[in-house]
Amino acid sequence: MPKVLITPRSFGKHSDEAKRILIANGYEVVENPYGRILTEEEMKKEIADVDAVIVGIDPLNGEVLSCAKNLKVISKYGVGTDNIDIEFCKGHNIPVTVTRNANSDSVADFTFALMLAIARRVVEIDKSCRALNWGKKASIGVHGKTLGVIGTGAIGRGVIKRACGFEMKILAYDVYPDDEIAQEYDATYVEFETLLKESDFITLHLPATRETTDLLSEKEFSMMKETAVLINTARGELIDEDALYDALKNKRIWGAGLDVFKKEPPEKIELLELENIILGAHAAASSVDAVNKMSLMAVENILANFK
């Protein structure tokens, strides 16, 4: 009986259909026993004798994968594969699949939710009201402002589509510009520095690579408007957290909404003390619809590879 390790905590959380499909097809299911992201040592232990793994952001580097003697397929629960040693997998003929577009709408929704919440100071106002302080807090608008979208894949496109309802001016940056997006949503592809200087809202939708690590650091924050809002629902590695803290603390930008960090929970604990930031627990994709869709697609990818 082939064995499947499932590490994402949200897998099958709202429906047992995906798990039932695996069992019905003769698979033994091993679920995450820790209730959190696994460490490298834990992953080495759990992956040792499995035939397949459905993985979230747990580490699957070469050292971990070398401990998996029976592994035949990796089914990524999501689309980012930066936690997986792809070269190792290619060298050992281990296919890696992703649940493409399963959570795009949910992440785009959450991105816009963070954008609105930071601009209108929703969390701060809520906190004051709970303390029976009904004083008014001035905020900034979203309608008609300039949105800079860095990375125009499925999620970036979804954010652009939503921004059209707010009649925002769309600036975009991508190594591979999409003419269809530019035409359909009247988006303008510009140079990276131009986007940083002219955008009122900046949102990141890129994978973590050697080239994108610390994409936004002190230099980039100094280019932004004092009223700029930064949103990151992609990867924590994209932002230099020390530089972000300085920019927020010294009010060099208006605020930030972060669903991802380099380490989760973040090592830069001072970020939690700031009022002009809203934090997320890597939860942008965790809607009921997206979780069900990702769970089923992750299982389908395993079955397809075994067939």
Q: Are residues 245 and 164 in the same domain?
A: yes
| Mean pLDDT computed over 53-65 | 97
Q: What is the pLDDT of residue 80?
A: 86
Q: Are residues 187 and 124 in the same domain?
A: yes
Degrees, nearest 5: CA angle 292-297-303: 130
Percent of the chain past pLDDT 90, that is, above it, reads 96
- Long-range contact list for 188-197, CB < 8 A, 24+ apart? 192/150, 193/223, 195/148, 195/150, 195/171, 196/148, 196/220, 196/223, 196/224, 197/223, 197/224, 197/225
- Give the residue numbers spanning the domain of 57: 3-102+288-306
| Mean pLDDT computed over 16-35 | 96
Catalytic residue check, 264:
yes
| Mean pLDDT computed over 2-17 | 95
Q: Kindly report, residue by residue over 73-108, the tens digit of the pLDDT.
A: 999 999 889 899 999 999 999 999 999 999 999 999
Q: Are residues 71 and 214 in the same domain?
A: no
CB 135 within 8 A of CB 150: no
Catalytic residue check, 267:
no
CB 54 within 8 A of CB 27: no
Q: Are residues 162 and 24 in the same domain?
A: no
Give kind and range of the element (H or E) at residue 97: strand 96-97
Q: What is the pLDDT of residue 229?
A: 98
Task: List the catalytic residue out of 31, 40, 124, 264.
Answer: 264
Catalytic residue check, 92:
no
Q: Are residues 109 and 96 in the same domain?
A: no
CB 278 within 8 A of CB 118: yes
Q: What is the pLDDT of residue 77?
A: 95
Q: Can you tell me the distance from the alpha carbon of 155 to that of 150, in angstroms, rounded to the nearest whole number?
A: 11
| Mean pLDDT computed over 38-46 | 97
Q: Can you tell me the distance from the alpha carbon of 76 to that of 66, in angstroms, rounded to the nearest whole number?
A: 18
Task: List the catalytic residue out of 220, 235, 237, 241.
Answer: 235
For 17-27, letters b (16+ CB in 10 Å) and e give ebbebbeeeeb
| Mean pLDDT computed over 200-227 | 97
Q: What is the pLDDT of residue 263?
A: 93
Q: What is the mean pLDDT of the chain?
A: 96
Q: Are residues 299 and 273 in the same domain?
A: no
pLDDT of residue 142 exceeding 90, the answer is yes
